[in-house]
Amino acid sequence: MPNKFYITTPIYYVNDRPHIGHAYCTIVADVVARAHRLMGDEVFFLTGLDEHGQKVQQAAQAKGVPAQEFCDEMAPHWRELWPVLNVSNDDFIRTTEERHKRVVQAILQKLYDAGEIYQGEYEGWYSTRAEQFLTEKEMGPDGKFPAEFGEVIRLREKNYFFKMSQYQDWLIAYIRENPDFVYPDYRRNELLGFLQKPLGDLCISRPKTRLAWGIPLPFDAEHVTYVWFDALTNYVTAAGYGTPQFEKCWPADIHLIGKEILLFHACYWPIMLRAAGIPLPVQVAAHGWWTRDGQKMSKSVGNVVDPVKVVEAWGADALRYYLLRELPVGSDGDWTDSNFARRYNGELANDLGNLVNRSLSMVKRYCNGIVPQPGATEALDSELQTFAAETVKRFADRVAKLELNQLLGDIWELVRKGNQYVDQAAPWALAKDPAKAARLGTVLYHLAESSRIISILLTPFIPTTADKIRAQLGLGQASASLADAGRWGLVPAGQPLGEVAPLFPRKG
Ligand code: MSP
């Protein structure tokens, strides 16, 4: 029986336009999902959209359209982006779907019946212009709220609260006893630090008079659900909560998120699940944020990287490679166009492109495009074989630890080893001497095999290129597996190559 593996991204705010930060999160999740498929796991990979709440309601009003219509117009910007980036999600959830509303209401009802939700009063500073409660964060040093909020009044309203505070000690103990629950470890420590302060209960409703665009509470239709309560629940909706499928799919193995939403995922969410008697996700992994040329990306500065433009100029694989290679999952990254071009030309075109292209071009030139029979192996050949086998062996552990840029580093060591092998074995010299034909066969066979193994290891990161390498090797469309990367000799001698062409044309 294959292992199941369930990975999620955050659901993105439908009213935003996708940018490189969203693309990053989804691509990292895609690499992990594809790596698990390569290892034979049965993967369920979820992404989707967060569609309720104040901002969506306001944006729809500003456009003069009903909120649902607004969401329906925006959703394709997201849904259609993922295939462009070669993202292989299995489901795409929208929080306005019926399947989701049902689950949110079922869980709310369950918590209400169990006495986990009570009615209370909320009092705070309310901006009539922004139509929202303000916190101390928004308050200026003079104790006043900035003018953009217009009139700020003291407002009291009836609301529902979730008894979160009673779970605080349990959560602290859980995080301590399960060191892998929050990744990376410095974020876990940050969270434990935060949890030193009392948590308080969570206000989970908004009166309909103030916010209509949300899921009504099943026990009081005059209120809608707080948007994070609604949003987090998407992960169990898509797993089939309330159906037999749920047992097979849940718990999620990884919720991949950005660092700024860790509190919601590693504190509110586990407590919600615990209170509802639902098992916890195995891991919440928080990645860092991208800046551009050292600056925060923002529409007003006009420095936002548009993933579609990058794909048009460089291809999806180049984008995926850069995002994954540049930084470890967890750290912040800084996008610079020059660094992108440097990695493209140096690592993709030169290191990888050259290895495959010169190896296969020599098979064309010296062996009529037919993979030769290998002869006796020498120390140089076995060294390359062993190096490849060791790289394959490290793969699963690297993936389990989310060490994806280090894994790319390992694969690049193998690519460089392959290039050194070409230089040392010098097939062009062997080709000049008919007495060395057997040796030439061995060398070119080793290069074809190394290219095959490298193509498998690269499948999660640069899937289109990986397929191209296999097609150039004349291998069929059969999907690659990590087990095949661990076996030497699967390119059949005597096999004709496909069409050989550069993988990454150099760019200025
Ligand atoms: N809707 C909520 C998530 C609900 S999940 C139950 C949300 N949406 S978001 O669209 O604002 O952000 C989604 C993700 O994009 C976050 O994980 C965030 O970290 C990521 N990024 C947004 N800008 C980013 C960068 N500049 N760099 C990297 N990721 C960033 O929050």
Asked whether the beta carbons of 182 and 262 are under 8 A apart, the reply is yes
Helix, strand, coil percent values for the chain (each to nearest 5): 50, 15, 30
pLDDT digits (tens, 9 = 90+) for 395-442: 999 999 999 999 999 999 999 999 999 999 999 999 999 999 999 999
Beta bridge partners of 127: 132, 152
pLDDT confidence of residue 210: 87
Q: How far is the CA of 263 from the centre of ligand 1 (A)?
A: 13
Rounded to an integer, the average pLDDT of 105-128 is 94
For 233-288, the DSSP string reads THHHHHTTTTSHHHHHHPSPSEEEEEGGGHHIIIIIHHHHHHHHT-PPPSEEEEE-
For 287-346, the DSSP string reads E--EEETTB---TTTT----HHHHHHHH-HHHHHHHHHHHS-BTB-EEE-HHHHHHHIII
Residue 138 banded pLDDT, cuts 50, 70, 90: confident
Q: Which two tokens stand for residue 278?
A: 């639902």
Q: How far is the CA of 18 from the centre of ligand 1 (A)?
A: 10
Rounded to an integer, the average pLDDT of 480-491 is 95
Residue 63 banded pLDDT, cuts 50, 70, 90: very high
Atom in ligand 1 nearest the alpha carbon of residue 333: 27
Residue 207 banded pLDDT, cuts 50, 70, 90: very high
Atom in ligand 1 nearest the alpha carbon of residue 235: 6
Please give the Cα distance from 265 to 232 (Å, whole number).
8
Out of 13, 17, 25, mutate this one to test ligand 1's pocket (max ligand atoms within 8 Å of CB): namely: 25
Q: Which two tokens stand for residue 27?
A: 């691509």
Q: How far is CA 312 from the centre of its chain?
A: 21
Residue with the two structure tokens 């001698």: 493
| Helix ranges, 368-436 (H) | 379-400, 404-425, 427-430
Q: How far is the CA of 24 from the centre of ligand 1 (A)?
A: 10
pLDDT confidence of residue 127: 87
- Quick check: helix, strand or coil at residue 33? helix
Mean model confidence pLDDT for the chain:
96
CA torsion 152-153-159-163 (nearest 10°) is 70
pLDDT confidence of residue 200: 92
pLDDT digits (tens, 9 = 90+) for 309-368: 999 999 999 999 999 999 999 999 999 999 999 999 999 999 999 999 999 999 999 999
Please give the Cα distance from 223 to 468 (Å, whole number).
54
Nearest partner of 206 among 92, 136, 124, 263, judged by Cα: 124
Q: How far is the CA of 279 from the centre of ligand 1 (A)?
A: 25
Asked whether the beta carbons of 8 and 256 are under 8 A apart, the reply is yes
Please give the Cα distance from 422 to 438 (Å, whole number).
16
pLDDT confidence of residue 325: 98
| Ligand 1 binding residues, C-beta < 6 A | 10-13, 16, 21-22, 24-25, 50, 231-232, 257-258, 260-261, 289-290, 297
Q: How far is the CA of 259 from the centre of ligand 1 (A)?
A: 9
pLDDT confidence of residue 371: 98
Atom in ligand 1 nearest the alpha carbon of residue 258: 19
Atom in ligand 1 nearest the alpha carbon of residue 297: 26
Q: How far is the CA of 418 from the centre of ligand 1 (A)?
A: 39
pLDDT confidence of residue 129: 80
Please give the Cα distance from 295 to 276 (Å, whole number).
42
Please give the Cα distance from 236 to 104 (Å, whole number).
9
Q: Is the peptide bond before 66 cis (omega within 30 degrees of 0)?
A: no
Atom in ligand 1 nearest the alpha carbon of residue 16: 10
Burial grade of 367 (CB within 10 A; 0-12, 13-18, 19 or more): buried
Asked whether the beta carbons of 100 and 233 are under 8 A apart, the reply is yes
pLDDT digits (tens, 9 = 90+) for 280-317: 999 999 999 999 999 999 988 999 999 999 999 999 99
Burial grade of 327 (CB within 10 A; 0-12, 13-18, 19 or more): middle
Q: Is the pLDDT of residue 73 over 80?
A: yes
pLDDT confidence of residue 137: 82
Please give the Cα distance from 46 to 234 (Å, whole number).
10
Atom in ligand 1 nearest the alpha carbon of residue 296: 26
Residue 476 banded pLDDT, cuts 50, 70, 90: confident
Q: Is the pLDDT of residue 478 over 80?
A: no
Out of 13, 19, 22, mutate this one to test ligand 1's pocket (max ligand atoms within 8 Å of CB): namely: 22
pLDDT digits (tens, 9 = 90+) for 246-259: 999 999 999 999 99
Q: How far is the CA of 495 from the centre of ligand 1 (A)?
A: 48
pLDDT confidence of residue 479: 72
Q: Is the pLDDT of residue 372 over 90?
A: yes
Percent over 90 (pLDDT), the chain: 90
Compute the C-alpha angle 52/54/59, nearest 5°: 90
CB atoms under 10 Å from CB of 410, counted, come to 17
Percent over 70 (pLDDT), the chain: 100
> Which residue, by CA, sits nearest to atom 10 of ligand 1?
12
Please give the Cα distance from 450 to 456 (Å, whole number).
10
- Pairing type for strands 254-258 and 283-287 reads parallel
